Amino acid sequence: SYELTQPLSVSVALGQTARITCGGNKIGRKNVHWYKQKPGQAPVLVINRDTNRPSGIPERVSGSNSGNTATLTISRAQAGDEADYYCQVWDSSIEVVFGGGTKLTVL
């Protein structure tokens, strides 16, 4: 089955840029989605199909996908960005696959 690999944690200073990676075999050929989840809350879609922001998601949140790595980039990090982030793809083995999740800490 297909696997997605994310770092367990990423730290970023307030106002700086955070990058969260999601690794997978030839992931650049797949559509990658990113979710933000705060404790006790349901996940929220923040990036759809590699680069598309749903309504209400600020422009400082962006995504890219190429080769074996997809990346979620959060510019000008704020305290409210602190959360767990998950990448997700649909694999041809007929399943939805999530990455293990990355805890973002804003210092």
Partner 1 sequence: EVQLVESGGGLVQPGGSLRLSCTASGFTFSSYSINWVRQAPGKGLEWVSYISSSSSTIYYADSVKGRFTTSRDNAKNSLNLQMNSLRDEDTAVYYCARPGIAAPGADYYYGMDVWGQGTTVTVSS
Nearest approach, Cβ of 25 to partner 1 (angstroms)? 18
CB count within 10 Å of CB 99 equals: 24
* CA–CA gap between residue 91 and residue 93 (Å, rounded): 5
Task: Determine the residue type at 30.
Answer: K
Footprint of partner 1 on 55-94 (CB under 8 A)? 84, 86, 88, 90, 94
Nearest approach, Cβ of 39 to partner 1 (angstroms)? 10
> Which residue, 8 or 14, has its beta carbon nearer to partner 1?
8
> Which residue, 16 or 66, has its beta carbon nearer to partner 1?
66
Interface contacts to partner 1, rule CB under 8 A: 1, 31, 33-35, 37, 42-45, 47-49, 54, 84, 86, 88, 90, 94-101
